[in-house]
Amino acid sequence: MDKYDLTIIGSGPGGYVCAIRAAQLGFKVAIIERYNTLGGTCLNVGCIPSKAWLEASEHYYKLKHQFENFGIDVKEANVDILKMNQRVQDVVQEIINGVDYLMKKNKVAVYQGHGTIKDKNTIEIKGGDKTETITTDKIIIATGSKPASLPNIKIDKKRIISSTEALALQEIPKHLMVVGGGVIGVEIGSVFARLGSKVSIVEYFDSLIATMDGALGHQLHRSLRKQGIDFYLEHKVTNATATEDKVELKAENLSDKEEMSLDGDYCLMAIGRKPYTASLGLENIGVETNEKGQITVDKNLETNVKGVYAIGDVIRGAMLAHKASEEGVFVAESIAGQKPHINYSLIPNIVYTQPEVAGVGLTEEELKKTNRSIKTGSFPYKANARAKISMDTDGFIKVIADKETDEILGVHMIGPRIADSYTEAVVAMEFRAAAEDIARMSHGHPTFSETFKEACLAATEDRALHI
């Protein structure tokens, strides 16, 4: 029976990063994955394929709708959905191969199969016809999450689908109905709207991406509506019925209780995800979970059972790959006796639509509830030279700062390539910078990043220069 210092159940961005860091620290490490490939939901059927689809569909959309304005005359453009799908799978496989390499490089033992905790130092692994048992000093649960649905709607994976099936479609839907206007809904909805589908998004709340700053959701709504997506905000989905080739969706207007009906060939359930802890044997050792099914952990991410930890989507907080990775490093370093740190308030949310969206820190709505004295500054991309050059003028950056100290408390961005430029805001807030600190830093011209400088100027006595 093999024995390890540390064993991780689940090989997503939390699990495999934890394994690498633990190996770097000198531990003998094992990782258990129930599927045939490493990488979890994110690499296989989530973050990576969705962003590959978004990238491909954005190129096509710009070719159809913007290239002519650049003086590029393309007579005809067509989508080969099978070739596009294959390219997505090639990207996924390349990244998965990279994780395989990293496990070998760091001498992490990989077990394929379903891991069940027998006691706090013993795990049974069943894969195919093979069953093996290993012992370990520490266990880290990193099994992630799975798509959620409404109580009365079953995901049949044929017509009523989750993000997993949506990202593997072999045809462009004629009419894709999306239940949920959060990150998954607007991203996948964007993909197929760009490729020519009629897309209808039905959302319970009065704004898209409702957990983010309200101004971002309202701007995203305007931008995506211009791209042809239909929205039914403040509607409660009551039923979805699938036949062999179509789905009928029923929803109720929350204000006047009027019922509406939509017909489409696919219905994407995108109302969120729920922790995946099925058949892990948590009950065998008494690991506690809360009412949401999340594993309860302390400040060190240790469960109520000493030596057993949990990270990522199975515990409290946002279900984000980069959060899980940070927690994986945190646990490995904590077990090694180090004093790692995670600032949960500075873990950004990112939406890869066009325009892209990101938010870090507190929202204006959250700050107003605390009665904290704040000031805000905003600057639109339509006044940014680089955005004009690239024809990406939708959006803005909003900076929220303490009225007395000028410390930046929140930065909320919607615009071009935000996913790659928001990090300046994270660095500034990690070091508790004032808005004026950023306002006085030189930013290259012409760049998208100048918009952040101008927003900070706007928050500093309304000193924006280019508007």
Annotated binding site for FAD: 51, 115, 143-145, 313, 319-322
Q: 183-194 vs 214-226: helix axis angle to the nearest 10? A: 20
Q: Are 207 and 218 in contact (CB under 8 A)?
A: yes
How far is the C-alpha of 64 from the C-alpha of 70, rounded, in Å? Answer: 12
Those residues whose C-beta lies under 8 Å from the C-beta of residue 278, and which sit 6 or more positions away, are none
Neighbours of 155 (CB within 10 A): 21
Instruction: Single out the catalytic residue among 114, 221, 412, 445.
Output: 445
> For residue 425, which of 451, 390, 460 has the smallest C-alpha distance?
451
From residue 326, how far is each of 16, 25, 330, 343 by CA, in Å? 11, 16, 6, 10
Q: What backbone phi and psi angles, to 5 degrees, belong to 445?
A: -130, 135
Q: Decide: 282 and 263 in contact? Cβ < 8 Å.
A: no
Phi-psi region of 337 (alpha: psi -120 to 50; beta: other; left: phi over 0): left
Distance, CA of 15 to CA of 32 (rounded, Å): 9
Contact assessment for residue 174 and residue 312, using Cβ atoms and an 8 Å cutoff: no
From CA 42, how far away is CA 142, in angstroms rounded?
Answer: 13
**Burial code of 356-377, b = ≥16 C-beta within 10 A, e = fewer?**
bbbbbbbbbeebeeeeeebbbb
Residues of the binding site for NAD(+): 180-187, 203, 272
* Residue 35: partners with Cβ closer than 8 Å, 6 or more residues away: 44, 112
Kindly report whether the peptide bond that precedes residue 49 is cis, defined as omega within 30 degrees of 0.
no
Catalytic, 445? Answer yes
- For the annotated binding site, the residues are 51, 115, 143-145, 180-187, 203, 272, 313, 319-322
| Active site amino acids | 445
